[in-house]
Amino acid sequence: MILPSKHLSQDRALLTVGVGILQHLGQPKTVSAVWEELHRRGEEAQHSATPLKFDQFILALDLLFLMGAVQLDEGLLRRKKP
């Protein structure tokens, strides 16, 4: 799930998705805003027949949180300063 494997392409691995999320979090944003952007970008790229799923996105966020990369303040996601 986290790393790409035989059954999971690289860009669907949670870690890859998480990196994409972090790239979008230059500014604190709502969960929806980040989701919209990722979602849109996936649609624009059209490099895969299967666009990013919402539950994968959520799991990627969970992963980032447990790694201490993001936090949620008053409904806004922000990158955590190391």
Partner 1 sequence: MIQRIYSTLPTFKCLDFRPGLNILIAQKEQGATSKQTRNRAGKTSLIEIVHFLTGADAGKDSPFRTEALVNESFGMEFDLGGERVSVERSGSAKSKLQVSGSGFAGDICRITIKEWVEALGESVFGLNAGQDAAGRAPTFRSLFAYFVRRQISGAFTTPEKQATMQQVGDYQVALMFLLGLDWKIASDWQQVRDREKTLAELKKAAGAGAFGSVIGKASDLRTQLTVAEARLGKLKSQMGSFRVLPQYRELETEADEITRDLNKLANDNTIDIAMIRDLEIALHVEAPPSLADLESTYAEAGIVLPGTAVRRYDEVRSFHESVIRNRRDYLSGELSSAKQRLESREQQKAKLDQRRSEIMVILRSHGALEQFSWLQGEVGRAEADAESLRQRFEAAEQLEGAQNELEIERNRLTLRLRRDFSEEGQRLADAILAFEETSGRLYESAGSMQVDTTPNGPVFGIQMQGSRSKGIKNMQIFCFDMMLMRLCAKRAIGPGFLIHDSHLFDGVDGRQIISALKAGAETAEELGFQYIVTLNEDDAFKETVEGFDVREHVLPVTLTDATEDGGLFGIRF
Q: Site residues (CB under 8 A) for partner 1? A: 1-3, 14, 30-32, 35, 54-56, 58-59, 61-63, 65-68, 71-72, 75, 77
- Beta carbon of residue 62, minimum distance to partner 1 (angstroms, whole number): 5
**What CA–CA distance (Å, rounded) separates 17 from 20?**
5
| Residue 3 or 45 having the CB closest to partner 1 | 3
| Residue 23 or 75 having the CB closest to partner 1 | 75
Say which amino acid occupies 62: D
- Beta carbon of residue 37, minimum distance to partner 1 (angstroms, whole number): 13
SS (H, E, C) 2-42: CCCECCECHHHCHHHHHHHHHHHCCCCEEHHHHHHHHHHHH
- Beta carbon of residue 67, minimum distance to partner 1 (angstroms, whole number): 5
Pair of tokens at residue 59: 């799991």
